[in-house]
Amino acid sequence: MEPVSCDTLVALPPSTERQQIIFGKNSDRPCDEVQEVVFYPAKDHTPGQKVECTYIQIEQAAHTHAVILSRPAWLWGAEMGANEHQVCIGNEAVWGRLSADEEEALLGMDLVRLGLERADTAEKAVDVITDLLERYGQGGQCMEDQCGFTYHNSFLICDRKEAWLLETSGKYWAAERVAEGHRNISNEYSITTKIDREHPGLRDYALSKAWWDGKSPFNFAAAYSYMNTARIEASGSRRCEGKKLLERSNGHITAETMMSILRDKDSGINMEGMFMTTGSMVSVIPTDASLPGVHYFTATPDPERSVFKPFVFVKNIERQMEKTSSPSYGADDPVKKQPRFQRKPDRKHKLFVKHEVVAAIIESHADRGAKLVERMRQLEREKISEMDVILCYGLVEPDLLVDLFPRSVQAELSVYGEKS
């Protein structure tokens, strides 16, 4: 299995239809991996408190923001998510001239969650992630076994006014601000000569390795990338296709546009095979701070056969998302024990189990499957229509949205329970 994974996209005005920022990501992971969607409320923490990430403990922040996360069920961090300040982050696996470290440190997915929990703007998330990278490093197994699958990380981060692309290689990094238009990333470095922020030793290190001559304009991707590898060529193709799909709707990009792009199989963005799209996310963030953001998650594999369900940050969300939360094994989890990954426990949540059955029906029974897909799409259209009212006019009765996502999951399960 040659791992390739993930596409993350963002569109800002004037590329979007309204004064909105549209964010989307497909998380491409091993086909047997379960992705869960979970919510954590904002919380104050005592001085000196530690937080247990996937592999290591680090110092906890004084305050963490409320977050909604889509994540592989075996780890602490997240592939993608959003916080109460409408900051969204998705990460990508990238490989370069620096070897990715197998020594346990922070995973890129840990950095996604930490950025969301600790930053109230996209640029502050860049600060959080790069500071933690400098202090703790990145590394460790990125799959639930001892297969040696490790990588560096790139991050696409947005808020109500802008997006930032952050690309890392070990502790070194470069960041590019995106103020308008659209941008997408796959599994390759894409920051070239437009570098708005960078690690203070970035250029000196490249110079010391003879990756840059010190005279020509510094190009981050050219200096730190692999050259001509099959993995990067494949991701480059997906990035090119993603750009074309965004360009096709330029000026009119909506949540539906982004969902359609994430469902596109011809481009490779909706991945199939041993590595496949195991979870998807689309967020709609109005530039008007008086309006709420809406964040859609599938919590199931293959967005073509899934329903994007909405979540809105409102007060008093305390109910855990039972039907998209995987079983917890606590200290007995094989990920926590040494040596790690000696077995794989059942991590399937309730929606995942039902969706497995439905996906098999869609695959093997054309007429019955088509009817199921149409009911799923109808539910999705209804939810998008409901959210459009909120995005236009704001929250009139926020208490009615406290259990919006769990209710939407239950509606999806009801569709699956119908005779078809």
- One-letter amino acid at 180 equals E
- Class of residue 298 by CB neighbours under 10 A (exposed 0-12, middle 13-18, buried 19+): buried
Q: Hey, what are 215's tokens?
A: 């005279």
Q: Hey, what are 39's tokens?
A: 């919510």
SS3 415: helix
CA 335 – CA 197 distance, rounded (Å)? 36
31 is catalytic: no
CA 116 – CA 121 distance, rounded (Å)? 9
CA 209 – CA 302 distance, rounded (Å)? 42
CA 308 – CA 259 distance, rounded (Å)? 8
Q: Residue 196: how many CB atoms within 10 A of its CB?
A: 14
Which residues make Cβ contacts (< 8 Å) with residue 194, sequence separation at least 6?
Answer: 176
Determine phi and psi for 241, rounding to 5 degrees.
-65, -40
CA geometry: angle at 37 spanning 412 and 74, to 5°?
130
- One-letter amino acid at 22 equals I
> Which listed residue (6, 53, 142, 158) is catalytic?
6
CA 97 – CA 185 distance, rounded (Å)? 19
Query: Residues with catalytic annotation?
Result: 6
